[in-house]
Chains A and B, each alone.
Chain A
Amino acid sequence: MSTALSTAEEIHAHDHDHDHEHEHHELGFIRKYIFSEDHKTIAKQYLISGILWAFIGGSLSIIFRLQLGFPEMTLEWLKPILGTWIDESGKLDKEFYLALVTMHGTIMVFFVLTAGLSGTFSNFLIPLQIGARDMASGFINMLSYWFFFLSSVIMFSSLFLETGPASGGWVIYPPLSALPQAMPGSGLGMTMWLISMTFFIVSSLMGGINYICTVINLRTRGMTFTRMPLTIWSFFFTAVLGLLSFPVLLSAALLLIFDRSFGTSFYLSEIYIQGQALPNVGGSPILYQHLFWFLGHPEVYIVLLPALGMTSEIIATNSRKPIFGYRAMIGSMMGITVLAFIVWAHHMFVTGMNPFLGSVFMFLTLIIAVPSAVKAFNYITTLWKGNLVFTPAMLFSIGLVSLFISGGVTGIILGNSALDINLHDTYFVVAHFHLVMGAASFFGLMAGVYHWFPKMFGRMMNKTLGYVHFWFTFVGVYMVFFPMHYIGIAGFPRRYYTFTALGNDGMAAFTNMNSFISIAAIITFTAQAFFAFNFFYSIFKGKKAPQNPWNSNTLEWTTPVNPGHGNWEGEIPAVYRWPYDYSKPGSALDFIPQNVPHSATPESNLPEENEEIAKEKEIEGLLGAQNESYNR
């Protein structure tokens, strides 16, 4: 804490002597790049970790797609990497297949799309867009990253265990995950999974508390809640979701640890396994499922909301048009946030849960479709009569909207408990959630990287590579997940090593399609090399970025091209207007940044905005108090 304060003091001192050689309090390499408390550095740490994880998670999926797409293929050539996980006949080990599926899910959901997405952009954008010097607590923010790092190390090492990493599916339902005798992955691999996730939860709680505090307390003068960019709103709601739901996962994990190691029976009852009747009675595996999905469902929105928030910003900027229905967007995100907590049991319609409860959750679930639909319509209307600039970020944002719609509509089917009976745990579900939360959030992540890369690294990414990357990924994602709906309708269950046991030539009918999906997956995955190259090359060799490359309104573009510690060299700018004054009638430029007072733009002010001019003095008067707050 003291360090955070002293940093703030230094900056404040800065402002007063107008000493712009801001490098004079240069930190050592370790404090600047490794154990940094600067939100921008932490964001980059999250981003690069997230990208590395994405490649690991993606390559795991390619291995099991090889098995699914080409069941006859010998995977002997993978032996140098996978060792004994390839058996004597050159086939993928059946338990390792499940481990791959499990780790792919865990890595993608938590390490890429939670830490890599929300960790990166909440950290990076919250202080920059609300006009703050840094996070409320730089130290806790640093701890948050290093807990995540520790969690990553543990999860990554579990991949190399002889008994394999956790293998019971990313939802790790007990008793399978609780009993080491049920499968080898439930041994040490599961223990490491649980330890890793415990640290992960600690990390995301620290992050979340910081995001919430920062948004509430450190907004610059004039930045009222109704002038906040939708990105900040989405990060705020995401943090609230995480703060309220992750502890529940922690308790689920703790009880599971007790069951595994201390002989309790929270989830275990009347089990006979491997010729032995276990003493546990009275536990309920369903309890675990309730606890897990109480996080698990909000988690979907933890992953998705930041992507939607960033997309709102990017679409508005590149349509040169205000986002349509700003307040409706906030309202629908708020609605989604609240509803996210009361729909979890729609994952459990056929788990033996009381069917009456199923009815209740079906009603609640389909309500959440309404705010989601509103968001989609608002995006489309924002494009209408815009003047669209297709930056790579814009392309990925449009891609996100398309994927969000395509994946979202099947949610209406799955949320219907009567229809879920047949579709539950089939490829229909796999297709649904990969489109709506996996691919859509991934597109949000990519859009964010392309859009804010100039702010992060002071350089531009190559546009053409960005276009190629987008088109490969967009077409590829649809080619992978669209046909999966058909396989699901044909009744193919997920997490199947092969489909021979379906009988009746069921497998043969979709052999070609499965191969097609696998090829598409390989192409899509390989195309990410365009991105990786572009990203790492541009960090060092990209074209120097201008201060405001996209002619955007939000505050981060008022900072220097390479913002130092403290973000703004002089005073933090005040905010006088909402962030979406694009193509305002009467204005010569097609954008008016948030820090431009209405008194400076009489030609474009709407009648009610002229009244705002009177309040500008008031906003400016807050400067002293704002500086005071950093001094405290």
Chain B
Amino acid sequence: MNFLIGLLSIIFFALSIAVISKSMKLNKKLSGEDSDEVALDSANNVNATGMLLFWLFGTIAGVWSFLHSKPDFLPVAASEHGLKTDSMFWTSMAVVTFAFFISNTLLFYFAFRYRHDKNRKATFYPVNHKLELIWTVIPAIVMAILVFTGWRTWRDITSQAPSNAAVIELTGHQFGWYVRYAGVDDSQLGHINYKLIDETNNLGIDFTDKNSFDDFTATELHLPKGQPVLLKIRAQDVLHSVYLPFHRVKMDAVPGMPTKFWFTPNISTDEMRAKLGKPDFNFKLNCTEVCGRGHFGMSITVFVDEPEDYKKWVAEQKPFLATNPSYLDKVPANLKAKASKYIPAEPIATDSTGTEAVSVK
């Protein structure tokens, strides 16, 4: 399909070259020696016509290519703030396209209309303060309106996350993402210390912090539909950037400086599949800050579940401590009892003192 644009432009190319070369020959015939006047007029008219043709074909190509690409743009935003920014995007786009079209039209039209004519003299028109004032003030007002609406939206997006937000931690590394959930019991993420990172504990979860006991990790990102989600974003080695294109979410992951972004997904994966008619559709998380060789492939799948499915999924997940009981050694003595609650039932671990301690807490 794109070949149509290609075709159009090639035709246009061919035309312009043909016209130019023809006029060149014409010039040579007409002028013979040094009469620059004639050369100027015929080549000048060709170029002036070129401006008009460029405008015409450019407009056609612009409109056609837009309509052609539109179905492939990102589908409807799958988050609440995304709906707002999308509608603002298209409004702003309409405003700037209008300005773009009008000013380019005038530019090319004037270029054509006022092409050189030796019988005419240009109008000496150095200044008009009123006109200048008008076109300073109008863009200023339009800009002010755009900025103000943009600022309000930005303020809402970057406001404090609601207290009921599901807290999820994303950690970028070369080249992938670790996902950690705050767990079902305390919905608080435990501390992380990059010096504690080892082959199993690849996040460096600090088990001296009791909040980390119920934290669990995942290889996919599951989000509850209709509930605010607070992403706490980290990077281990170099800059990365969390990009959820379908949710219009982007935030850099910075080593040494945790960042955050909260939003509310409002379309579940299943709904999106139905909406798009693509049964294998999946939301994605990509990296948008260049981070090395594998940058382009740093992607994980994102599932937006109905709240009850999400709860179910969370309940099924095992805390890190449960899958890696050896880390119980890192837990300080006074918290051992609390931590061992998460260790799967083994013959030795299930002595009465252990359960008693838990029940006391």
Q: Do A and B come from one complex?
A: yes
Q: Is the CB of A472 within 8 A of B43?
A: no
Q: Is the CB of A489 within 8 A of B194?
A: no
Q: Is the CB of A582 within 8 A of B122?
A: yes
B20 adjacent to chain A (CB < 8 Å) = yes
B236: A residues at CB distance < 8 A: 271-273
Q: Is the CB of B72 within 8 A of A509?
A: yes
Q: Enumerate A316-359 residues with CB–CB distance to B below 8 Å.
A: 319-328, 350-352, 355, 358-359
Q: Enumerate B71-127 residues with CB–CB distance to A below 8 Å.
A: 72-74, 82, 84-85, 88-89, 92-93, 95-97, 99-100, 103-104, 106-108, 110-111, 114-117, 120-127
Q: Enumerate A135-180 residues with CB–CB distance to B below 8 Å.
A: 168-169, 173-176, 179
B48 adjacent to chain A (CB < 8 Å) = yes
Chain B interface residue number, banded? 35 or more
Q: Is the CB of B107 within 8 A of A405?
A: yes
Encoded as 1 (CB less than 8 Å from any A CB) or 0, chain B from 32 to 66 comes to 00000001100110111011001000100110011
Q: Is the CB of A493 within 8 A of B243?
A: yes
Q: A324-B127, A350-B241 are in contact. Are A412 and B197 (CB under 8 A)?
A: no
Chain A interface residue number, banded? 35 or more
Q: Is the interface of B mostly helix, strand, loop or mixed?
A: helix
A619 adjacent to chain B (CB < 8 Å) = no
A510 adjacent to chain B (CB < 8 Å) = yes
Q: Enumerate B135-149 residues with CB–CB distance to A below 8 Å.
A: 135-136, 139-140, 143-144, 146-147
A326: B residues at CB distance < 8 A: 126-127
B239: A residues at CB distance < 8 A: 173, 175-176, 285
A216 adjacent to chain B (CB < 8 Å) = no
Q: A503-B299, A583-B123 are in contact. Are A273 and B174 (CB under 8 A)?
A: yes
A386–B115 Cα gap in the complex (Å)? 8
Shortest C-beta distance, A593 to chain B (Å), equals 16
B237: A residues at CB distance < 8 A: 175, 179, 182, 271-273
A416: B residues at CB distance < 8 A: 88, 92, 146-147, 150, 154
Encoded as 1 (CB less than 8 Å from any B CB) or 0, chain A from 381 to 407 comes to 101111111100001001001100110
B288 adjacent to chain A (CB < 8 Å) = yes
Question: Residue B157 contacts which of A281, A374, A418 (CB distance < 8 angstroms)?
Answer: A418
Encoded as 1 (CB less than 8 Å from any B CB) or 0, chain A from 104 to 127 comes to 000000000000000000000000
Q: Is the CB of A467 within 8 A of B47?
A: yes
Q: A319-B114, A321-B125, A502-B299 are in contact. Are A421 and B249 (CB under 8 A)?
A: yes
Question: Residue B155 contacts which of A273, A359, A367, A475 (CB distance < 8 angstroms)?
Answer: A359
A179: B residues at CB distance < 8 A: 237-238
B43: A residues at CB distance < 8 A: 390, 463-464, 467
Q: Enumerate A502-516 residues with CB–CB distance to B below 8 Å.
A: 502-506, 509-510, 512-513, 515-516
B337 adjacent to chain A (CB < 8 Å) = no
Q: Is the CB of B157 within 8 A of A385?
A: no
B233: A residues at CB distance < 8 A: 352
B187 adjacent to chain A (CB < 8 Å) = no
Encoded as 1 (CB less than 8 Å from any B CB) or 0, chain A from 548 to 560 comes to 0000000000000
A582–B122 Cα gap in the complex (Å)? 8
B195 adjacent to chain A (CB < 8 Å) = yes
A114–B251 Cα gap in the complex (Å)? 31
Q: Is the CB of B73 within 8 A of A490?
A: yes
Shortest C-beta distance, A489 to chain B (Å), equals 5
A265–B56 Cα gap in the complex (Å)? 57
Q: Is the CB of B124 within 8 A of A351?
A: no
Residue of A355, A358, A504, A582 most packed against chain B (CB within 10 A): A504
Q: Is the CB of B295 within 8 A of A417?
A: no
A366–B288 Cα gap in the complex (Å)? 25
Which listed segment binds B: A29-37, A298-306, A479-487, A567-575? A479-487
Q: Is the CB of A413 within 8 A of B122?
A: no
Closest residue on chain A to residue B143 by CB atoms: A366
Q: Is the CB of B154 within 8 A of A409?
A: no
A510: B residues at CB distance < 8 A: 69, 72
Which listed segment binds B: A6-14, A204-212, A422-430, A531-539? A422-430
Question: Residue A580 contacts which of B126, B135, B154, B194 (CB distance < 8 angstroms)?
Answer: B126
Q: A370-B143, A479-B5 are in contact. Are A502 and B252 (CB under 8 A)?
A: no
A380–B135 Cα gap in the complex (Å)? 12
Q: Is the CB of B292 within 8 A of A583?
A: no
Q: A182-B237, A269-B255, A405-B100 are in contact. Are A498 and B250 (CB under 8 A)?
A: no
A482–B281 Cα gap in the complex (Å)? 29
Question: Residue B47 contacts which of A367, A379, A395, A419 (CB distance < 8 angstroms)?
Answer: A395
Shortest C-beta distance, A523 to chain B (Å), equals 8
Question: Residue B73 contacts which of A398, A401, A489 (CB distance < 8 angstroms)?
Answer: A489
Q: Is the CB of A471 within 8 A of B295?
A: no
Closest residue on chain B to residue A479 by CB atoms: B9
A584 adjacent to chain B (CB < 8 Å) = yes
Closest residue on chain A to residue B39 by CB atoms: A463
A575–B107 Cα gap in the complex (Å)? 33
Q: Is the CB of A495 within 8 A of B290?
A: yes
A320: B residues at CB distance < 8 A: 116, 121-122
Q: Is the CB of B288 within 8 A of A493?
A: yes
9 closest Cβ pairs, A-B complex: A269-B256, A355-B158, A352-B259, A491-B245, A509-B72, A409-B96, A390-B47, A416-B150, A501-B299
* Additional 10 contacts, C-beta under 8 A, given A490-B74, A493-B243, A493-B296: A182-B174, A377-B135, A390-B111, A405-B104, A418-B157, A426-B288, A467-B47, A489-B69, A490-B72, A590-B122
**Could you name 24 residue pairs across A and B whose Cβ atoms are closer than 8 Å?**
A269-B255, A273-B174, A283-B256, A284-B257, A285-B254, A319-B122, A351-B252, A352-B257, A362-B147, A363-B147, A363-B151, A373-B139, A387-B121, A395-B47, A419-B88, A468-B17, A483-B65, A486-B66, A490-B72, A497-B296, A501-B299, A502-B286, A513-B2, A580-B126
A-side residues, CB < 8 A to B, are 94-95, 98, 168-169, 173-176, 179, 182-183, 268-273, 277, 281-286, 319-328, 350-352, 355, 358-359, 362-363, 366-367, 369-370, 373-374, 376-381, 383-390, 395, 398, 401-402, 405-406, 409-410, 412-413, 416-419, 421-422, 424-426, 463-464, 467-468, 471-472, 474-475, 478-479, 482-483, 486, 489-491, 493-506, 509-510, 512-513, 515-516, 519-520, 580, 582-585, 590
